[in-house]
């Protein structure tokens, strides 16, 4: 139990370091690749997230989803990688190769679709190499470039607001 506290403190320190060293892209280029980090425990239907790629005209090979679950072991077969807190070690080290590959991918945009203030989710959002980060979590404003204030489960509202603001920002 004590080690878990030390691990969390170590990860918080790494998270804050990532936020301090973050370089914000001022270029407003079109979004051609998109990554999505979501909490599978909060979403009733994952299929509702997948049409975002078609909405933004993203090619299927340039669209990746990775999901988090609070369960000790990810036993859900969703057709995309699912990780748990066990896949993140001390100091933000990544133990899961699929997760590490996702974090190393250079996305034009990243959508962080989770509502719970979870250090593991925030750590992965901060560690992702994305030019433009979009989120719904309001607890840490340094984490995302665009924060959409929507209610949990309002995926259709999220899609319409996302389309509206990305059009205004000339990203689509």
Tens-digit pLDDT profile for residues 106-150:
999 999 999 999 999 999 999 999 999 999 978 888 899 999 999
The answer to whether the beta carbons of residues 58 and 34 sit under 8 Å apart is yes
Q: Which two tokens stand for residue 106?
A: 């250079």
Chain CA centroid to CA 87, Å: 15
Predicted local distance difference test score (pLDDT) of residue 99: 92
Tens-digit pLDDT profile for residues 4-23:
778 888 888 988 888 888 88
- Give the pLDDT band of residue 48 (cuts 50, 70, 90): confident
Tens-digit pLDDT profile for residues 56-70:
999 999 999 999 998
**Side-by-side strand order, sheet with 107-113:** 82-83, 63-68, 34-39, 107-113, 130-135, 146-147
d(CA 13, CA 118): 15
Question: What's the angle, vertex CA 78, arms to CA 148 and CA 15, rounded to 5?
Answer: 45
Domains and CATH numbers, the chain: 2-168 (3.40.50)
Q: Which two tokens stand for residue 98?
A: 């699929």
Q: Which two tokens stand for residue 61?
A: 């090979």
């Amino acid at each position: 139990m004590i080690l878990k506290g030390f691990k969390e403190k170590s990860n918080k320190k790494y998270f804050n370091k990532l936020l301090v060293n973050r370089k914000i892209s001022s270029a407003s280029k079109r979004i051609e690749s998109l990554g999505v980090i979501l909490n599978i425990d909060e979403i009733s239907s994952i299929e509702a997230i997948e049409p975002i790629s078609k909405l933004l005209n993203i090619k299927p090979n340039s669209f990746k989803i990775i999901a988090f679950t609070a369960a000790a072991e990810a036993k859900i077969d969703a057709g995309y990688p699912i990780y748990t807190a066990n896949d993140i070690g001390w100091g933000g080290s990544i133990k899961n190769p699929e997760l590490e590959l996702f974090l190393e991918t250079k996305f034009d945009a990243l959508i962080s679709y989770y509502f719970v203030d979870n250090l593991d989710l925030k750590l992965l959002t901060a560690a992702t190499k994305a030019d433009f980060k979009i989120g719904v979590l309001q607890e840490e404003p340094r984490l995302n470039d665009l924060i959409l204030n929507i209610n949990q489960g309002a995926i259709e509202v999220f899609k319409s607001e996302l389309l509206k603001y990305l059009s205004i920002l000339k990203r689509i």
